[in-house]
C-alpha cells in the first residue's frame, strides 16, 4: 500500500518533460505514465481540445487530420475503397456501365447483332426506369436487362432468340428461353401498371389519327385500273382521293369519342370509305366489293358500319359540314 502511494506521489510530482514515443504510445521516461496513445502525428491535438475550440477551429482541425491521414498509403487505399462503394450505392440506379459492356460484348460475339447509339439510349432509358421505380429486391436484374434488350431489338433483327440466349450464356449469364419469357412478361406487366393514364382528349386524338392513317392506306391500295372507266385520266382520280382525305378530317370532327371508343377502328374506316364514296356525284366508283378487296372486311361488315355512319351523320348525299 505504501509503495502504491509512493508511486502516485512520484507521478504527481513529475513534470512529464522527458517523454518518448514507444509503439504508438507517448510515455514519460521518468515516471512511466502513458501520456497519449495511438498518435499518428506528433502535432496532433488531443480529443479533449476539440470540445474547447470554436466550431470553425474544430472543423479545421478535422480537415487537417483527414488530410494528414490520407498521406498514409494504407489509409488512402481504404479511403478510396469506401468512396468507390459510396458512389456505387448512390449511383446503382442510374449507372449503365456494366450493361453497356454486355451489349458491346454481344455485338462482337459473331451473331450479327447490330445496335446503334440511338437504340442503346432507348434500352438504357427503359432499363433505368424499371430499375429505379419498379424493381424488387428479389429480382435478378441481369435477366431483366437481357429481357429489355431482347424486347427492344427483336422486331428489327434477324437474330433468332436461341442465338441471343446462347450468346448471353457464353458470356456467363444463366438464362434460358423460359426465364427470358418470364422476365419479358414481368417488364410488360409492370410497365402497363405504371403507365401514365391518357386523358379522354388524348385517346380521342389517337384513335382518330389511326382512322386517318388506315383510311389513306386502304384508299391508296385501290388501283387506278379498277376505277379508270369513271375518270378521264389518273390525275383526276388522284384529285378525288385528296378531296376524300380532306373530307375525313371534317367528318371526324363531328363524331365524338364515346361514339367510336368501343369500335373496331379498321372496320369503321372501311365503312367510312364507302360512306364518303356515296357523297360523290357518281356513287358507283367506290363499291362495297371494291373496298372489300383492299380492306379485307366483308361487304356485310362494311354495310353495317355504313349504316352506323348514317345514324351519326345522316344521309351522305345530304351531308352538311
Task: Break the chain into its structural domains and give their ranges.
Answer: 2-68, 97-194, 200-318
First to last CA, the chain: 118
Q: Which of 60-74, 97-111, 143-157 has the lowest mean pLDDT?
A: 60-74
Would you say domain 200-318 falls under CATH 1.10.472? yes
Indicate whether 62 pLDDT > 90.
no
How far is it, in rounded angstroms, from Cα 77 to Cα 307? 81
Highest mean pLDDT among 14-23, 92-101, 169-178, 299-308: 299-308
How far is it, in rounded angstroms, from Cα 248 to Cα 1? 113
The CATH number of the structural domain formed by 97-194 is: 1.10.472.10
pLDDT digits (tens, 9 = 90+) for 250-272: 999 999 988 888 888 889 999 99
C-alpha cell read off for 241: 382521293
Please indicate whether the domains covering 97-194 and 200-318 agree at the CATH topology level. yes
Q: Report which of residues 138 and 235 the model is more confident about.
A: 235
- Say what the pTM is: 0.43
In the predicted model, what is the mean pLDDT of residues 183-211? 82
Please list the alpha-helical segments (H only) found in the chain. Answer: 2-13, 47-50, 55-69, 73-91, 97-107, 117-133, 141-153, 161-170, 177-194, 200-220, 234-253, 265-277, 288-295, 299-313
C-alpha cell read off for 276: 364518303
Query: Which pLDDT band holds residue 124 (cuts at 50, 70, 90)?
Result: confident
Amino acid at each position: 500500500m505504501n509503495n502504491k502511494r509512493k508511486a502516485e506521489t512520484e507521478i504527481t510530482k513529475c513534470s512529464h518533460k522527458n517523454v518518448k514515443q514507444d509503439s504508438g504510445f507517448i510515455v514519460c521516461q521518468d515516471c512511466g505514465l502513458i501520456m497519449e496513445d495511438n498518435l499518428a502525428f506528433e502535432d496532433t491535438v488531443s480529443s479533449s481540445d476539440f470540445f474547447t475550440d470554436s466550431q470553425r477551429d474544430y472543423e479545421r482541425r478535422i480537415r487537417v487530420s483527414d488530410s494528414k491521414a490520407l498521406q498514409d498509403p494504407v489509409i488512402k487505399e481504404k479511403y478510396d475503397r469506401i468512396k468507390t462503394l459510396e458512389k456505387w450505392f448512390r449511383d446503382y440506379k442510374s449507372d449503365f456501365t456494366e450493361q453497356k459492356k454486355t451489349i458491346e460484348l454481344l455485338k462482337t460475339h459473331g451473331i450479327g447483332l447490330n445496335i446503334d447509339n440511338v437504340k442503346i439510349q432507348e434500352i438504357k432509358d427503359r432499363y433505368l426506369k424499371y430499375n429505379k421505380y419498379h424493381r424488387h429486391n428479389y429480382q435478378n436484374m441481369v435477366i431483366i436487362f437481357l429481357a429489355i434488350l431482347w424486347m427492344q431489338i427483336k422486331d428489327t433483327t434477324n437474330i433468332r432468340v436461341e442465338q441471343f440466349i446462347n450468346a448471353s450464356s457464353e458470356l456467363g449469364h444463366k438464362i434460358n428461353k423460359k426465364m427470358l419469357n418470364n422476365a419479358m412478361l414481368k417488364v410488360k406487366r409492370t410497365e402497363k401498371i405504371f403507365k401514365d393514364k391518357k386523358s379522354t382528349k388524348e385517346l380521342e386524338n389517337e384513335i382518330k389519327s389511326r382512322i386517318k392513317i388506315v383510311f389513306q392506306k386502304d384508299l391508296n391500295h385501290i388501283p387506278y385500273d379498277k376505277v379508270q372507266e369513271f375518270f378521264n385520266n389518273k390525275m383526276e382520280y388522284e384529285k378525288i382521293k385528296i378531296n376524300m382525305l380532306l373530307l375525313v378530317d371534317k367528318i371526324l370532327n363531328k363524331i365524338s369519342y364515346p361514339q367510336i371508343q368501343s369500335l373496331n377502328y379498321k372496320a369503321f374506316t372501311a365503312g367510312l370509305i364507302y360512306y364518303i364514296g356515296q357523297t360523290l356525284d357518281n356513287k358507283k366508283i367506290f363499291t362495297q366489293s371494291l373496298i372489300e378487296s383492299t380492306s379485307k372486311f366483308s361487304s356485310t361488315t362494311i354495310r353495317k358500319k355504313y349504316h352506323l355512319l348514317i345514324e351519326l351523320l345522316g344521309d351522305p348525299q345530304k351531308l352538311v359540314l
